[in-house]
Structure formats: C-alpha cells, structure tokens
Amino acid sequence: MIEKVFLRCGKHMYSRNVLQQVQQFYNSPTTNIKIGTSINAGDPSFLGIQTSFSSELKFINKECYDSLPLFRILDSSKHVRLPEDFKLDEQTFIRMYRKMITLNIMDKILYESQRQGRISFYMTNTGEEYREAGVLLWRGHSIRDFMNQCYGNHKDTSKGRQMPVHYGSKKLNFVTISSPLTTQLPQAVGTAYAFKRSRKGVCVVCYFGEGAASEGDAHAAFNFAATLECPIVFVCRNNGYAISTPSLEQFKGDGIAARGPAYGIYTIRVDGNDILAMYYATRAARELCIMEGKPVLIEAMSYRIGHHSTSDDSTAYRSINEIDQWKHHTPIIRYRDYLESVGLWCEQREQELNKCVKNSVLLAFAKAEKELKPCWKELFTDIYHTMPKHIRKQMCSMEDHVTEFHKYYPLHLFKQT
Amino acid sequence: MILSKLSTRLLNASASLVFNSQNKSVVREHVRWIQFTYYTDKNNDVTGKTEKMNMYQAINNGLRIAMAKDPDAVIFGEDVAFGGVFRCTLDLQKEFGKDRVFNTPLCEQGIAGFGIGLATIGVTAIAEIQFADYIFPAFDQLVNEAAKLRYRSGGEFDCGKLTIRAPCGAVGHGGLYHSQSPEAYFAHTPGLKIVMPRGAKQAKGLLLSCIEEPDPCIMFEPKILYRTAIDEVPTAHYKIEIGKAEVVRQGDAVTLVGWGTQVHVLLEVADLVQEELGASCEVIDLVSILPWDAELVCKSATKTGRVVIAHEAPLTNGFGAEIVSTVQEQCFLHLEAPIQRVTGWDSPFPHVFEPFYLPDKWRCFAAVRNILNY
C-alpha cells in the first residue's frame, strides 16, 4: 500500500536524487566500477567503501596496527634538529618561554589566592603550558584581563557572570569558554565551515581533553568536520586524567589519535611536553587544513601535574611518586634546557624574569581585587538582544526589594549603575 | 528514521488521488484520525500579492526569500538537500548551491552545535531537526550553549542568527516519536525564543522573524498542517512579531488559549459553544511560547472571567501551567471560575489510542460547558 500511495512527486524526486548521487559516486575518477557490473565478482562496490574481498575470517583490533608514533623535537640528546623549512627567530624562542613562565607564575598566585578564599575557583595549567590560557597569553591577553575575569569585577568583559578561568576575548578571536565539556567542538566546526565559505586562508583551532573526547559531541564534530570538509585543527590534550579517571578507563583504543583516520581526518600524535614539537606540528596542521580545506587532529601527549581544579585533591587517586616523576619532564624544564644549550637563556635571566613577572602579576592581582563588581542589574542584561517585558518586570521587582532590604545585600561591593 | 519515512509517505497519501477515490472512508478510518478542521486565515493585514499555499510551500517560500536576501545564509540538516522529508526545502539546493543547502550526518547534537558555530561568526544558520521528537540529543547544545552564549560572554559573542525548525505535534498515527510537542522543555530556558505557527501564513511570517531575530529561535511546525493548512499567503517578505499573541475570534464569555493545531480545535469549540450553549468564546492563538504575550491573555481573561487553555503536550508542567499561574496572579479579582487545562494526558504519546489522547473538541467543549456552569 505504501508504494501505492507514494507514487507521486515525492518518490520520483527522491529516487531521481539518490540515483544521481549514486551515479556520481560510481562515475568518480577513483572508482572505475559501473553500476550493476560487479555485485559478487571482482571488487566489491558498496557505496562509500572501497575495499577488496577476503577469504580469511579475521577480526581486527588495535594489536593489528602499530601504535601511532609520537612526534618530538626536543629529545634528551643535545643535538636538537629543527625542521629546516621554518626558521624561528631568537625573539620568538624567548617570547615562548616568557609566556610559559608567566602562565606558571600566574597559576601559582591564583591557586594560592583561591586557597586563601580570595577567588572562588581556579584551574592551573601546570605541565601543559601550551594549553588554553597560554593561547590567550600568547595572543596578548593582559594579566589584568585574566585577573578581572577571576574576580568577576566590573572590568571583566563577561560581567562577572561566569566562574573563574572561563575566559573569552572577541578581540583576540578566543570564543568564551563554557563549562559543559566538548560542546565547543561541533560549534568550532560550524565556524570553520563559515570560514571556508567566506575567508580564504583562515582556520579554526579547537582544544579539548582526552576525557572530553568521550562525549557524543566529539564524535559529532569529527564526523561533521570530515564530511563537510571544514578547515579546523582539533588539538586534544591527552594528559592522562579526567578529574580522577585515568585514561585507562576512558578508552581502550590507541588513544584519541587513532580515531582520526577512522573519520577520514589527517592525524598526528605529538609530545605535548615538547613545545617545539607542538609548535611545528600545529603550524604544519594549519597549513595543511587551509590548503586542503579539511580537518586535522593533533593528540598532544602530556601529564596533568596539578590537581584537576581547586575543588580537587588529586593525591586521593594517584601517587605522589607518579606526579614527581613527571615533574622532571615538564614543558618548561625541557624547553629551558634547550634554550640554555643554544645560549639563549641563563640562570640570571631566569631570576630576572621570575621577579619581574611575579611583580606584575601581584600588582594586577591587587588591583583586580579592589575593583567593584558590576552593577547587580547586569544579572538581567544580555539574556536576549533586547530585554523582554517579563525580564524587565523581574528586574524592577528586584530593585524594589533591594531598596527595601538593602542592608541584607552586599551592595557596597557592587557598582551602583 | 524508517518511521519518519513512513509518516511522510502517509502524509503524501492525503494529497494523492488514491484517497480521493472510492475507498476514501475505509482507508482514512484506519490510517489517520482527523481531529480538527482547518480554519483559513481571512485576515488581510499584509498587503500585496498573495498565492494559495499550504504550510510546507509557505515555509519553502519563506526560506527562499531568506536565502535570496542574505547570501551568507545556509540551510542544513538531515535529508534537506533533496527537499526534506516534508518537502520544506524543495528545490532550494538547486537554486542556491550545494554549499548553502546541504545534508549533515545523522546527528542532532552535531546539527545544533554546528549551527551555533556558524551563527557565532555572524552567519545566518537555518537548521532542521527532522522531528521535534529527535531534538533531545541537541538539548544540551540548545539549552546550555545557544541560550547562554550572549549572557556568559557579556555580549561579546552571540548566536542570534541561529534558527532551528522542527516538525512537531500529532499527525494521526505518529506514535511516541513522531508526535511530541516539546515546547515546555525549552520554555524553561532564558535566552531562547520559541514559536509555533497555526497555519501557512503564520509559518512564513514567523519563520522570517526567527531568521532575522537577533536571538536563537526554535520554530516548532505542527506537521499535520504541512499539507492541510492552505491559506492565501503573501508572496513578498513579511514578518509576524515574536512575543505577540493574536485574538483570532472575539468573544465575551470564555477565553480559549491554544497554539499550533490546537487553535483550530478551539475555533471549532467556539462554534460548538455558540450553537449549543449560546455563549461566545474569545479564541487566542498564543503564537509565541517564549517570550509569551501575558498582557493580551490577561486582558482577555479580565474581560471574560473564564479561561480554558488547551495543548497537545502532557498536562503536568506543560506550558499551560505557566499561563494558569500568571493569569490567576494578575486577574484574581476578575476570575469567575477556576482556570481549566485541557491537554494530552500524562502518558507517552500513544499510537492506536491517539483519538483518546488528544485534547479534541469534545473534551474542550466539556471543559467550557463546565466552567460556564461553575
């Protein structure tokens, strides 16, 4: 009966379209098969799969392949060889180091300030000084801006609405961080698609942890990026832990990298504690994905030296020995060794830098602490582009209430207008 | 998705010649329970040329206008490239190209996230979720991300250019996963705008509003109306304001509030009440679920003193509850009887029991009669 009632335009259109697509597939230069020629003989002709017949009954697992190798530049020997095609100047080498140190010092001070109850929450970057806050720092986000966000004062661009470390900067093309894990991945793919259509020579970079890669949104993003051919570089920080969950309980395959080729994505595994390997891999990935208009996946292998956050004591689920072991292989130590070996750094410069950064962080910190919070009415703005009536009504009702009960609210900490 | 295809085919069935011939009554009785009569919109509030269109054609027409007006706008979702399982995107790929109208992999959270990403960079993103029943995998992206992006970034970023279209509501035989009306889930989310048209003309006007609104919008399209709702639809660009309800019939004894298909049920109830009980009902199409037009509903409730709210979705925590609470708060001294809700039961949407599940005209009529006698 269904065939009977579906006979008009719908069915026609549908089958014509499918037919057209199927024909395109079979006529494409990569397949020489003509429709109907080989259902059981020669090569298989399934839509979207190019394979060959096999008479061996064999299941495949990760043992059938070699694990993806780890790209590194800073090995333990003193003979470091940099890729010849891109030369880095001395200034860039040193700037990279300075930013890592700055992040490290900022982390220490903000971590302590949370411990003293001066900010509500913090997450350090220790051991992964290439990660997201580092990206902002590298792009020129000032220490003041970081502090303002953590304090949620009136100078914070997000108006004190989010928890600390949820940074964002329109100016620096850094989309505001949100807490739900992995939601940014398919979003980044959408933005990359827009770039592909509008601006040549631009791509999106999207960071996430190995735990976040277990979310459904990661699957969505990899598959969308590949099928819709979007210029995006996915950077996965595989640091061994998602809060207390070791990656052994997160996946059973060859890490995150092994998933890339399964989606049809160019993939590389990089030593995340090697800042130069990360630099060159990211740079090459960017060129590849812009040139081909396709996604690239980088799995950066690392170790989370700090606690997950200030709400976490990681010694509850891992040994101090384990942490100590990694303390000798941090990105900072390895990079400093390299800089010293080529004569770009020395103990004296180290001490000067430490002192100088510490002073500026403390200064910004003290300043941010003294600033007032935004006017409490900002609670009601930016929910929509313009404030709807029902929200305005709620704001007015709160205003009446605050006027009457003002002594029970911390109004002195907030701006008046 | 096999069921999706099935229902499309059955929808096609109504338009096909097969049913207009000898075995019409037999087939209809077994396949589809028609629970309402469509009331054509006779309002001439939009000037200019009109054309007879059903709702899917009106939506198609609206999408075409939006795509022509904004050369960056894109349409995407499952099966939209060949025209969509409900034909709403028919011929658009041919007209605007494969990079502007395209299929995505079958993954709703991906579709919503992808749309947010496009809108974040200022691209008009028109996403389709094939059935509102399948919007739940995208719930996180819509509720935690789309709705909160502007707020959490202090206005630095937003995804106001995102519009999600999703077919919703009863269709006669859709069972659990081709019939749901999930508007109340989303109405609890500050930052989203939600609308539901009652016909072809409203669908086009609301769609164009959603697309141009600087906030993320969800338009739930009652799928039973795609082919049954036929109106004279203005061919030019026009908008219907989000957040405004519409009085579709004036009356003074009882206020009836509904949205989507239910408005037509309520119009029939108004006729029935006039005929049987000699009382006149005021029928309001709420149009926007979020933000909703409390002012207009309360004004009417103040006038009539009696209110009946009807929706297909289940009773408990349905959007009717929000209206009841507001009306009772604002019109307490004017109410002559308790506010009544006639809704789907607190059960999943059943297959063969659909005629007993829906808040049909007889259940609504009984509620009106009861409060008139209160």
* DSSP notation for A315-335: GGTS-HHHHHHHHTT-HHHHH
**Alpha helix positions (H), A154-274:** 184-198, 216-227, 259-263
**Residues in chain A within 8 Å Cβ distance of B77:** none
Judge contact between A252 and A226, C-beta under 8 A.
no
Predicted pLDDT of residue A2: 41
Nearest by CB to residue B156, choosing from A168, A187, A198, is: A168
Do A183 and B18 make contact, defined as CB atoms within 8 angstroms? no
* A184 and A167 both lie in a single domain: yes
Residues on chain A touching B114 (C-beta within 8 angstroms): 186-187, 189-190, 193, 220, 224, 228
Q: Verify that A334 and A402 share a domain, yes or no.
A: no
pTM: 0.91
Find the CATH number of the domain harbouring A362.
3.40.50.970
The tally of domains found in chain A comes to: 2
Say if B323 falls within a structural domain: yes
Confirm whether A388 is domain-assigned.
Answer: yes
Local confidence band at B17 (pLDDT 50, 70, 90 cut-offs): very low
pLDDT digits (tens, 9 = 90+) for A203-232: 999 999 999 999 999 999 999 999 999 999
- How near does any CA of chain B get to the CA of A245, in Å? 23
Domain that holds residue A235: 90-370
**Nearest chain A residue to B125, by CA:** A190
Q: What is the ipTM of this complex?
A: 0.91
Sign of the Cα pseudo-torsion (B196, B201, B203, B206, in order) = negative
User: Do residues B111 and B185 both lie within one domain?
Assistant: yes
A64 in any annotated domain:
no
- Domain boundary (B203, B234, B265) is at B234
Q: Does any domain span residue B277?
A: yes
> What span, in angstroms and rounded, lies between the C-alpha atoms of A377 and A396?
9
B37 lies in some domain: no
Q: Compute the nearest-CA separation of B369 from chain A (Å).
A: 33
Find the angle CA(B92)-CA(B96)-CA(B99) to the nearest 5 degrees. 105
For A102-143, write each residue's pLDDT tens digit. 999 999 999 999 999 999 999 998 888 767 899 999 999 999
Alpha helices by DSSP H, listed for chain B, are 2-15, 17-20, 24-31, 55-69, 92-96, 108-120, 139-140, 149-152, 183-187, 200-212, 225-228, 262-277, 294-304, 319-330, 354-357, 361-372
Residue A80 resides in a domain:
no
Catalytic positions of B, please? 108, 178
**Measured between CB atoms, does A242 come within 8 Å of chain B?**
no
CA distance A327 to chain B (A): 35
Residues B195 and B115 in one domain: yes
Nearest CA in chain A to B102: A228
Q: Are B54 and B123 in the same domain?
A: yes
DSSP state letter for A177: P
What's the CATH code of the domain at B360? 3.40.50.920
- For the cut 80, the answer to whether the pLDDT of residue A309 exceeds it is yes
Contact B279, B253 (CB under 8 A): yes
The pLDDT of residue B104:
98
A179 noted as active-site residue: yes
Q: What is the rounded distance in angstroms from the CA atom of residue B102 to the CA atom of residue B89?
A: 10
- Do A314 and A382 belong to one domain? no
For residue A222, give how far its alpha carbon lies from the nearest alpha carbon of chain B (Å).
10
- Asked whether the beta carbons of A194 and B117 are under 8 A apart, the reply is yes
- Average pLDDT, stretch B327-344? 98
Phi, psi for A271 (deg, rounded to 5) = -75, 105
DSSP string, A265-289: -EEEEEETT-HHHHHHHHHHHHHHH
- Is B60 found in the same domain as B145? yes
B201 and B275 belong to one structural domain:
no
Which of A14, A156, A187 minimises the CB distance to B116? A187
Which pLDDT value is given to residue A161? 97
With CB atoms and an 8 Å threshold, state whether A382 touches B151: yes
Pick B237 or A2 by higher pLDDT.
Answer: B237
- Option in B15, B118, B155 nearest A193 (CB): B118
Chain A residues touching B137 at Cβ < 8 A? 216
Which residue in this structure is represented by tokens 């009632």?
A5
pLDDT per residue over A294-305, tens digit each? Answer: 999 999 999 999
Inter-chain touch A178–B145, beta carbons under 8 Å: yes
Identify the closest residue of chain B to A216 by CA–CA distance: B109
Average pLDDT, chain B: 93
- Looking at the structure of chain B, the number of domains it has is 2
What percent helix, strand, coil does chain A show, rounded to 5? 45, 10, 45
Distance CA A109, CA A107 (A): 6
Across the interface, whether the CB atoms of A175 and B193 are under 8 A apart is answered no
Q: Does one domain contain both A282 and A388? A: no
Are residues A266 and A161 both part of a single domain?
A: yes
B329 and B205 belong to one structural domain: no
Distance CA A366, CA A143 (A): 12
Inside any domain, residue B33: no
The confidence score (pLDDT) of residue A7 equals 42
Mean pLDDT for B203-232 is 97
Q: What is the pLDDT of residues B68-94, one digit of tens each?
A: 999 999 999 999 999 999 999 999 999
The domain boundary residue, chosen from B234, B259, B275: B234
Using CB atoms, which residue from B16, B113, B191 is nearest to A217?
B113
Average pLDDT over residues A282-311: 95
User: A224 and B107: CB-CB below 8 Å?
Assistant: yes
**CB-CB under 8 Å, B156 with A176:** yes
Tell me which chain A residue has its CA closest to the CA of residue B114.
A190
Does residue B188 share a domain with residue B79?
Answer: yes
Q: Is A176 part of the contact surface with chain B (CB cutoff 8 Å)?
A: yes
Chain A nearest-CA distance from B32, in A, is: 14
pLDDT of B48-61, one tens digit each? 999 999 999 999 99
A246-258, pLDDT tens digit by residue?
999 999 999 999 9
Q: What percent of chain A has pLDDT over 70?
A: 89
Domain match, B323 and B230 both: no
Q: What is the pLDDT of residue B7?
A: 45
The answer as to whether B11 is a domain residue is no
pLDDT tens digits, residue range B273-312? Answer: 999 999 999 999 999 999 999 999 999 999 999 999 999 9
Task: Select from A217, A219, A392 the residue whose CB has the most chain B CBs within 10 Å, as the one to mutate to test that interface.
Answer: A217
Closest Cβ–Cβ partner in B150, B157, B214 for A175: B157
Residue B124 scores a pLDDT above 60? yes
- Min Cα distance A206 → chain B (Å) is 12
Average pLDDT score over residue span A357-366? 96
Q: Is residue B34, in this structure, part of any structural domain at all?
A: no
* Chain B interface, best mutation among A1, A3, A4, A6, by max B CB count within 10 A: A6
Instruction: Name the closest residue on chain A to residue B18, using Cα atoms.
Output: A5
Model pLDDT, residue A100: 96
Q: What's the gap in Å between the CA of A299 and the closest CA on chain B?
A: 22
The answer to the question of residue A26 being in a domain is no
Assess A397–B contact: CB distance below 8 Å, yes or no. no
A331 plus A293 within the same structural domain: yes
Same domain, A236 and A331: yes
Supply the pLDDT for residue B199.
Answer: 97
Q: Are residues A398 and A283 in the same domain?
A: no
Q: What is the mean pLDDT of residues A30-42?
A: 54
- DSSP 8-state class, residue B129: -
Q: Answer yes or no: is A267 within a domain.
A: yes
Same domain, B153 and B215: yes
What pLDDT, on a 0 to 100 scale, did the predictor assign at position B111?
A: 98
Are A361 and A409 within one domain? Answer: no
Task: Choose from A3, A162, A169, A193 for mutation: most chain B CBs within 10 A.
Answer: A193
Nearest-Cα residue of chain A relative to residue B81: A17
Residue B54's domain is classified under what CATH number?
A: 3.40.50.970
Percent of chain B whose predicted confidence (pLDDT) is above 90 = 88
In a domain, B44, yes or no: no
For residue A197, which residues of chain B lie inside 8 Å, CB to CB? 72, 74, 99, 123
State the nearest Cα–Cα gap between B243 and chain A, in angstroms: 9
Please check whether residues B136 and B54 belong to one and the same domain.
yes
Residue A332 and residue A340: Cα distance in Å, rounded? 12
Q: What is the pLDDT of residue A265?
A: 98
Give the single-character DSSP code of B142.
Answer: I
Q: Are residues A352 and A407 in the same domain?
A: no
Q: Rounded to a whole number, what is the distance in Å from the CA of A228 to chain B's nearest CA?
A: 8
Q: Would you say B116 and B109 are in contact if contact means Cβ atoms under 8 Å apart?
A: no
Tell if the CB–CB gap between A18 and B144 is shorter than 8 Å.
no
In a domain, A76, yes or no: no
A15, A21, A224, best to mutate vs chain B, most B CBs in 10 Å: A224
Q: Are residues B190 and B213 in the same domain?
A: yes
Query: Could you tell me if A65 lies within 8 Å of chain B, comparing CB atoms?
Result: no
pLDDT mean across residues, chain A: 90
A408 and A337 in a common domain? no
A158-171 average pLDDT score: 96
The position carrying tokens 């989000």 is B242
Contact B152 A217 (CB under 8 A): no
The pLDDT of B317-330, averaged and rounded, is 98
Q: Does A202 touch chain B (CB under 8 A)?
A: no
| Residues within 8 A of B (CB atoms), A 340-369 only | none
- CB contacts < 8 A (A, B): 181
Q: Is pLDDT above 70 for A17?
A: no
Q: Residues of B with CB below 8 A from A227's CB?
A: 104-105
Where in the sequence is the domain holding B200, given as residue range(s)? 50-234
Please name the member of A180, A192, A221 whose beta carbon is closest to the beta carbon of B145: A180
Last residue of a domain, one of B201, B234, B267: B234
Interface contact A385-B117, CB threshold 8 A: no
From A179, A319, A385, A412, active-site residue:
A179
Q: Tell me: pLDDT of B2 over 50.
A: no
In a domain, B40, yes or no: no
B254 plus B292 within the same structural domain: yes
Q: Is residue A166 part of a domain?
A: yes
In a domain, A227, yes or no: yes
Reported as a single tens digit per residue, the pLDDT across B244-272 is 999 999 999 999 999 999 999 999 999 99
Same domain (yes/no): A356, A390: no
Quick one: pLDDT band at residue B170, thresholds 50, 70, 90?
Answer: very high
Quote the pLDDT of residue A217.
98
